[in-house]
Structure 1
Amino acid sequence: MGTFITKRLLYTILILLAASLLIFSLYAWTPGDFITGNIKLTPERKAELREIYGLNKPLLERYGIWMKHALHGDFGYSMAQQKPVFTLFNQYIWNSFLLAAVSTFFTWLIAVIIGVVAAYRQYSWFDTLVMVVIFAAMSLPSFFIGLFLIKILAVDWKWLPPGGMLTTGSNATGMAYAEEVVRHMALPVIVMTLLGIGSLTRYIRGNMIDVMKQDYIRTARAKGLKERQVLFTHALRNALLPAITLVGFELPALFGGSLIIEKIFNWPGIGQLYMQSFGLRDYPLLMGFTVLIAILTVIGTMLSDILYRVADPRVRLQ
């Protein structure tokens, strides 16, 4: 295990170096930037700013300077927001993490329960109803579900606030603050859970059906074990093994934010900031965010391999 982790860390460093150079080059070669597109600046001021930010230097020299600062935790300076990129990450990314972590928890919890029951009662009315609802949820776009729930739950029934993270002008603290955040995040969490539960439920249901046909499941039943113990102790553990590979994609998703959901519900997350930066061509912020997602993706993939080994001792890591 130690040798495997050491090798993967070395590979990870090489991959991240290559990915960062590619990402930096793509943003550098993209026509225009925040300074060029700002009509309020005079040509002299634009030239001065390009000299200050080093935009007139060769590509590899600019990349070397950026990498040197990035290794010290400095991902550059957002010209549009007039703040360091790392400060903006720290300000917005935890809002996205909160939203994604809660929705991911409910998505996996509900998908596992429904997937197991649907597989156990294959071709029953429950299984048929689940499949119909799953395909219906997967076929509807996120903005439609979001706007529909805002219309019903926020506008018509007034159960939940339509958007934002806090009520305008709120000075709540302590438990009152936490309660206000929970009420505001309820709608986006519901939408994100509905969007993610469909494919995951189908995945777990299919794996459970395959596992329940194995000989060791029949042996467990022949020994007189309770059906619940057979399903959730023996069958589910093996059915979730292929799903562990999905963990590698969950980590960047937790911090990456949901571009559409955050925009619909006006949630102050990193996804909405990322979309605004695209329109303003704020390449330092876009570069830092893209590299951060690449780092999380590589780390998540390595964690998937390690967790697979922990869950199934038969797997050998080399």
Structure 2
Amino acid sequence: MKSYVIKRLIYMLITLIGASMLIFMLYALTPGDFVDSNPKLSMERKIELKELYGLDKPVVERYFIWLGNLLKGDLGFSLQYQQSVTSLVVSFIGNSFLIAFTSMIFTWLIAIAIGVFSATKQYSWFDALITFLVFAAMSLPAFFVGLLIIKLLAVDLGWFPPGGKITTGSTTTGLAYVWEVIRHMALPVAVLTMLSVGSLTRYFRTNLLEVIKQDFIRTARAKGLKEKTVVYKHALRNALLPAITLLGFEIPSLFGGAIITEKIFNWPGIGQVYMQAFSVRDYPVLMGFTIFIATLTVISNLIADLLYRVADPRVRLK
């Protein structure tokens, strides 16, 4: 196990260095930057700012400067916000993680519950209904679902706030503040869950149907075990094993999917900062967030592999 983890960490470092090259070159070779996109600056001022921020240096030299700072934990300097990208990410990533992690918990709980019930009731009216709803949810874009939920639940019914993290001008503290945040995050979490639960439900259903047809399940039933024991203790555990691999992609994809959702609900997360950085070509922010997602992806994949070994001791990590 120890040698496997060390080997994977080395591979992760090589992968991230390769990713950093692609990310930097993608943005560095894109025409224009934050200075060029500002029409209020004179040509002399643009030349001065490019020299000040090192944008006049060759691309290869700029990459190694950026990589050296990256290895020290410095993601660069945001030209729009006039602060380090590291402090900017730290300031907003907690809010994004809050709705992403909450959505992931609800997604997996709902997907497992519905997937199991749908598999055990194959070809029933419930299975047909779930199949229809799953494909309907997967086909709807995030902005449409978000705006529809705001119209129905926030504007028409007034059950939830339409956006933001807290009410404007709010001075609540303690439990009142926690409850206020929960009410504000309810709608974005609902949208993220709705858009993610469909594919995961079908995945669990398919895996469980395959496991139920295997010999050891027929043996368990032949021994007279209760159907609940057969399904939840034997079949479900084996059906969950392939799904553990999805954890390596679930968390990064939630952060990526939350970008549009945060914009719709005006949630103060890193997605908002990312969208604003695109509009003004603040490339240090874009590169910093992209390398953060890349790092999160490789770490999540390592955790998923280790969890797979914990869940199934028969698996040997080499």
Bin of the TM-score, shorter chain as denominator length: over 0.9
SS of structure 2 residue aligned to 1:240: helix
Report the counterpart of residue 293 of structure 1 in structure 2: 293
Structure 2 CA distance for partners of 1:102 and 1:316, relative to 1, 3 Å = same
Could you tell me how far apart the structure 2 residues matched to 1:122 and 1:268 are? Answer: 42
Q: Distance in 2 between matches of 1:264 and 1:28?
A: 29
The structural deviation recorded for 1:224 is: 2.4
CA contact (8 A) 1:96 1:257 kept: no
What SS is found at the alignment partner of 1:75? coil
The CA distance in 1 between the partners of 2:255 and 2:97, in whole Å, is 5
CA distance in 1, matches of 2:149, 2:248: 31
3-state DSSP of counterpart to 2:55: coil
Deviations, residues 1-26 of structure 1 (Å, cap 9, x unaligned) = 22211111111111111110121111
Equivalent residue number for residue 281 of structure 1: 281
Q: Distance in 2 between matches of 1:186 and 1:126?
A: 27
Alignment of 1:162-311 (within 5 A): 162-256=162-256, 258-311=258-311
Aligned ranges for residues 1-318 of structure 1 at < 5 Å?
1-256=1-256, 258-318=258-318
Q: Residues 27-74 of structure 1: CA distance to partner in whole angstroms, max 9, x if unpaired?
A: 111100001111111212111111111111122221121122222211
Extract structure 1 runs of 4+ deviating beyond 6 A.
none
What do residues 191-244 of structure 1 show as CA deviations (whole Å, max 9, x unaligned)?
Answer: 111111111100000110110011111111222222212111110111011111
Deviates more, 1:202-211 or 1:11-20: 11-20
Query: In structure 2, how many angstroms separate the alpha carbons of the residues matched to 1:148 and 1:254?
Result: 20
How far, CA to CA, are the matches of 1:291 and 1:191 in structure 2? 26
CA RMSD in angstroms comes to: 1.3
Paired with 2:84 and 2:254, the residues of 1 have a C-alpha distance of 22
Q: Could you tell me the percent identity over the aligned residues?
A: 63
TM-score (norm. length: structure 2):
0.97
Is the 8 Å Cα contact of residues 73 and 86 (structure 1) preserved in structure 2?
yes
Q: Conserved in 2, the CA contact under 8 Å of 1:100 and 1:253?
A: no
Separation in 2, partners of 1:256, 1:223: 47
Distance in 2 between the 1:202 and 1:270 partners? 30
Farther off after superposition, 158-167 or 139-148: 139-148
Structure 2 gaps of 5+ residues are none
Matched to 2:262, the amino acid is E
Partners of 1:96 and 1:256 within 8 A in 2: no
In structure 1, the residue corresponding to 2:164 is in which secondary structure? coil
Is the 1:108–1:200 contact (alpha carbons within 8 Å) kept by the matching residues of 2? yes
Cα distance, 1:149 vs structure 2: 1.3
Shift of 1:260: 1.4
Partners of 2:204 and 2:240 within 8 A in 1:
yes
Matched residue count: 318
- Runs (5+) with no aligned partner, structure 1: none
